[in-house]
């Protein structure tokens, strides 16, 4: 490969909302535009990773392809020759490489992964846990079994998630892996295990850049986090109890506008961009800036110190309505057959690269003749 590889995952297993579009879809489109021609861009669909989250298995295949259509509708250029789009599960080398890497990984380093502890419900204060278990044991002895079983039921897939991610990276010699804060530790793990194997068997893997280099390259120090319209203390999410707080990309433009008009605001008299003091208003200002493609500072200057919340809501509602109308029109125009041809061609190309890397490892560890 003549060009350095950038690797990134395209969210696959759940229906998209506005926060996903602004925080996950749009950055991928911008990443492609920024680096087209300079790098090989591997954009893979992490359908195997999706098993570590609650999913509807009956809808996984359909949802995966629908989400890819959203990326194309948002502007992802599938005709760009240096961009490769592929489904993780369609390249068997990902699974075999994961097993080989896991045999050179340590239980201790995996158990220290922050995302695992967070998702497994282990990110709690130790003193609180001790106090809770003591009280439970003394006063509710029959409940202790249930408490322990909650943690026992955490899947091994969640625990070994970083190993699969390391395989995703190392199979293609990816140097650059733009990720959010919660995934940076995993990229460092991929680098560590690559160095460990290289030190033992020779230069097999291309090392991902270290964390400082990754940060400089990706420039994702301030990721977009759209908040719930009903409870702006929380992020916008499909799992939020009140669906009125979340704008789904499949919502009708009129329904989305209605949600904006009913959004929770704040008790302050004037409009201010201040997420601590006015999270509801600040969330609307952020959405307006992103929808209108204007700098946040410019939008803030237009609206700050005004006292008409209704006028701001109307402006945001109109911007969101126009955005959804345009996006859904483009979504309907996506050529499914052309998209499938792109997937199949790129998967064939990536399979060759992944198999070649896997063979190098197999030879190094003695599974194949050198």
Domain layout of the chain by residue ranges:
5-108+156-224+336-365, 243-332
Q: What pLDDT, in 10s, does the model give residues 226-248? A: 999 999 989 898 765 678 999 99
Q: What pLDDT, in 10s, does the model give residues 86-144? A: 999 999 999 999 999 999 999 988 888 877 666 666 444 444 544 554 555 555 555 54
119 catalytically annotated: yes
- Bigger pLDDT: 75 vs 24: 75
- Bigger pLDDT: 141 vs 285: 285
For the cut 60, the answer to whether the pLDDT of residue 212 exceeds it is: yes
Tokens read off for 253: 């433009």
- Select which of 143, 200, 234, 238 is catalytic: 238
- Select which of 119, 259, 313, 342 is catalytic: 119
Q: What pLDDT, in 10s, does the model give residues 32-90? A: 999 988 999 999 999 999 888 778 888 899 999 999 999 999 999 999 999 999 999 99
pLDDT at 311: 94
pLDDT at 36: 87
The answer as to CATH 3.40.50.300 being correct for domain 5-108+156-224+336-365 is: no
Average pLDDT score over residue span 309-313:
94
Range with lowest mean pLDDT among 42-56, 167-181, 354-368 = 42-56
pLDDT at 55: 81
pLDDT at 13: 75
Mean pLDDT of the chain: 88
Tell me, yes or no, if the pTM score tops 0.75: yes
- Select which of 235, 330, 360, 363 is catalytic: 235
Average pLDDT score over residue span 258-263:
96
Rounded percentage of the chain residues whose pLDDT exceeds 70: 87
CATH architecture of 243-332: Orthogonal Bundle (1.10)
Q: Are 74 and 327 in contact (CB under 8 A)?
A: yes
238 catalytically annotated: yes
Average pLDDT score over residue span 141-157:
59
Rounded percentage of the chain residues whose pLDDT exceeds 90: 65
For the cut 60, the answer to whether the pLDDT of residue 289 exceeds it is: yes
145 catalytically annotated: no
Average pLDDT score over residue span 258-266:
92
């Amino acid at each position: 490969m003549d060009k350095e590889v950038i690797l990134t995952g395209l969210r696959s297993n759940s229906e998209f909302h506005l926060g996903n579009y602004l925080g996950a879809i749009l950055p991928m489109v911008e990443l492609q535009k920024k680096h087209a021609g300079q790098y090989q861009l591997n954009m893979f669909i992490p359908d195997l990773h999706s098993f570590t989250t609650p999913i509807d298995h009956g809808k996984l295949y359909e949802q995966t392809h629908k989400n890819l259509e959203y990326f194309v509708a948002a502007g992802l250029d599938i005709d760009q020759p240096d961009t490769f789009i592929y489904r993780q599960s369609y390249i068997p080398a990902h699974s075999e490489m994961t097993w080989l890497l896991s045999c050179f990984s340590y239980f201790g380093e995996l158990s220290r992964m922050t995302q695992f502890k967070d998702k497994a419900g282990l990110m709690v204060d130790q003193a609180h846990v001790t106090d809770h278990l003591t009280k439970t044991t003394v006063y509710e002895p029959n409940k202790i079994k249930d408490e322990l079983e909650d943690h026992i039921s955490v899947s091994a897939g969640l625990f070994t998630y970083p190993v699969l991610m390391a395989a995703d990276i190392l199979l293609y010699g990816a140097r650059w892996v733009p990720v959010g804060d919660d995934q940076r530790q995993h990229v460092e793990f991929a680098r560590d295990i690559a160095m460990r194997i290289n030190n033992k068997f020779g230069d097999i893997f291309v090392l991902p850049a270290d964390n400082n280099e990754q940060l400089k390259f990706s420039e994702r120090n301030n990721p977009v986090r759209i908040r719930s319209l009903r409870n702006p203390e929380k992020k916008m999410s499909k799992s939020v109890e009140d669906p009125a707080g979340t704008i789904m990309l499949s919502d009708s433009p009129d329904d989305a506008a209605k949600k904006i008009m009913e959004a929770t605001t704040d008790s302050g008299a004037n409009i201010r961009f201040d997420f601590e003091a006015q999270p509801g208003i600040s969330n609307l200002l952020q959405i307006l800036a992103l929808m209108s493609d204007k700098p946040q500072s410019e939008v803030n200057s237009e609206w700050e110190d005004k006292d008409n919340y209704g006028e701001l809501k109307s402006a945001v509602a109109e911007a969101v309505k126009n955005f959804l109308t345009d996006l859904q029109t483009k979504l309907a125009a996506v050529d499914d057959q052309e998209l499938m041809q792109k997937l199949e061609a790129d998967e064939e190309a990536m399979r060759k690269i992944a198999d070649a890397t896997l063979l190098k490892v197999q030879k190094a560890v003695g599974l194949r003749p050198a």
